Structures are given as C-alpha cells and as structure tokens.
Amino acid sequence: MSAQWKDLGALTGKALGGMVRITADTHMAIADRVDAALPAVAKPYHRAHTVTAAAVYGVVEKAHVGAPKAVSRLGSRTGVEPGATRWGRTLQPVVNGFHGDFIAEEHPELALTMSLRVAGRDADPAVDYPDATGHVVVFVHGLAEDERAWSSKQRPTYGERLIDDGLTPVFVRFNSGRHISDNGRALSDLIDDLVARWPVPVESVSLVGHSMGGLVSRSACHHETPWTSKVVTVVSLGTPHLGAPLEKAVHVIDWVMRRVPESEPIGRVLANRSAGVKDLRFGSLVEDDWRDQDVDEFLANRCAEVPFLPHTTYYWIASTLTRDPQHPMGRLVGDGMVRYPSASAVQGEGLHLGGVGHLQLLNDETVFEALRGWLAPAQDGLVPD
C-alpha cells in the first residue's frame, strides 16, 4: 500500500474513532452526574451500565478506526494517489488548514509543503518561468486554501492579468495549519531560493496575501535575508492584522466547554484545532508569540510588535458585507470572517469595498484595478538600493 493511502486510512480512522470517543466520554460524564444523585441501592446497577457501555464503545471505536484502513488498502490498488484525485485536491488544503500541524508530524504524506506552483505541480524557478521579468509578484493564499483559490470561472487570476504590465506572478502553496511564523520562515527561504535561481536578475519583489497569507507575508519580511531589500510592495487582502473574531469566539467556547464535564469532550476537540488557526486569534507573526507559552490561555494576547520594512510601501484592502463599514452589522461581522478595523490595521493607504465577502477578494475587478495601480510602480525604478 502506498504511503499516502496508508496515512489517509490512519488519519480517517483516528477522526472516526475520535468521534466515537467523544460520544463515549460525553455519555460517561452524564452518567457520572446521574450516579452522584442516585441512592446507594441503585449504584451497583448504574456501575454495571457504565461497564457495559464502555465495552460497547470500545468495540465500536476499534471498528471505526479499522474500517478506513481497509478502504485505503482497496483504494491503493487503483494506482491513483489520493492527492491526484479531484476530491483529494479539494479536501487536502482544508484538512491541512485545521489540523495541518498534527498532519505534518503524524501523517507527513498528506501534508502540504511550502512550494512554488505551476499548472498544478511544483515549479522550478530556474526553468518554469521562460518569460520571466525582473519584477516578481508573490501570491500567498489564506487558511484552508491552496494556489487554486485565486482562480475564478469568471476571469483569469490577478497574476495572469498582471503579466501584461511586465510583472511576473508566482503562486505559492503551503500548509496553513502550521504556525504563521513557521510558514513565514519557509516563505522567506523559498523567495531567497527564487531570487538566486530566477532566469533574469530580480529587480523587485512584491507580495500579495489573502487573509492569513497577508500575515505570512509580513512574517516572511521580518527575516533579515537579502531578498527583503528588494521588496517594494506588500498588499494584504482581508487580513486579520489584529486577529479574527471567529477564532476568538471558538477559543472562548472551547475554554468554557472544557470546564464542564458533560461538554468537556467536545471542548477538547475544538481546542485541538491547528496552530495556524490559533495564531489568527490575535494575528501572531513571530515565534516568540507562542514558544514556551500556553496558547490556550484565556484571551491572552502576547503578540509582539513586528516592524514594517522601512523601504517598502504597504497597502490593504478591507471589505464588509454591508455597503457602509459603520453599519452595525458591518461593524459586527466585517466581510464575514475579518472585521474592518482588523483588516485595515496596517500602515499605508488602503481601500474599503462595501457589499463584498471575504472570499470575493480573491478575484474581484475592483481589487485587480487597485493591485495594478499599486504594483505597477515597481517597473518605474522605484526599487530600493
């Protein structure tokens, strides 16, 4: 059996077995609450019930763990890897987004890695960009996405359209479940390699990040490497610079649930979301924000201030589902994922889009026109020495 199918079977088995374990633990917590209220004469019957239930749950859990492994053995006989199937390509970035740190450690065959992508495969900067110019634009996707997130049935990607302006787009793929600081370091190394192996001398580098991708871009720029001296423009699209309200809400819910025996199993599952997701709580960018810290401490914000590159121009685009960003609903939900104050909390000029959702920022005509105006100056000699 191939390693990828083997890891898929093991991961799916753990997930299904975990669901059974949640049900069992919740059942037992409720049973313990009932036991405390029972008279002494009834307790032996109650204990017999819990012993029987535990045995049944054990058998069911083993079955749920083992069944996916058997299915994976059958799947492996097709000769097609899960990552090469349509459903695999769809699910892999999502599962990596929410559990990617665990997957990278326990099931590495299913983990995405930081890489350049061309036509659905890993790209070699030395050979896969025959029409390369010296002005590179790096597109960095967000949580639970991959490089295909920029695509749309209605129009070409931003990068494809910027080629006409003398800019060369490159799209990256990464495991968005890892810490943002880890992905920032990996992106920095990737761009370092790109600059060293690019077919022509690199004159300028610009970064465009959607959502989490904007944080990963800022984290990458924090590393003192030669390529950062070439960065002229950084654009963030719907990026939670001050944190994402949904992650804060889930954090509060899991914290409360883990303190009530009957809901603790579900709270424990919620708390097992990826490091990347938890970094979105307050917009963590560097390793010191989480290293040797309890990242599940209740609403503890330890995010350090990360300086902006002094020679770089920063731009932001923030949207709200309402036309007016000051509308009560717009202030509450923002673009559906990120609130306006968080998306606009970055130095430099920006743009508000009303009536636009979070995912629409990935391919929108108004966004493209703004990008075109902000990125074009890289060709005009406005590049740092």
pLDDT tens digit string along 181-205?
Answer: 999 999 999 999 999 999 999 999 9
Residue of 346, 337, 115 whose CA lies nearest to 215: 346
Average confidence (pLDDT) over 148-152: 96
Instruction: For the chain, give the percent of residues with pLDDT over 70.
Output: 96
Strand (E) or helix (H) holding 116: strand 115-118
Answer yes or no: is pLDDT of 374 > 70.
yes
Which pLDDT score is estimated for 75? 86
Domain spanning 115-243+303-380: CATH superfamily = Alpha/Beta hydrolase fold, catalytic domain (3.40.50.1820)
Q: What share of the chain is helix, strand, coil (3-state, %, to 5)?
A: 55, 10, 35
Measured between alpha carbons, how far is 153 from 155 in angstroms, rounded to an integer? Answer: 6
Q: Which residue ranges does the chain devote to CATH 3.40.50.1820?
A: 115-243+303-380
How many Cβ atoms are within 10 Å of 226's Cβ, its own excluded? 10
The pTM for the full model equals 0.91
pLDDT tens digit string along 81-96?
Answer: 988 899 999 999 999 9
List strand residue ranges (DSSP E) for 157-230, in order.
168-173, 204-210
pLDDT tens digit string along 130-149?
Answer: 999 999 999 999 999 999 99
- What residues are paired with 117 via a beta bridge? 122, 171
User: Taking the alpha carbons of 247, 253, 259, 264 in that order, is the dihedral positive or negative?
Assistant: negative
> 223 in the Ramachandran plot: left (φ > 0), alpha (ψ -120 to 50) or beta?
beta
Which pLDDT score is estimated for 46? 63
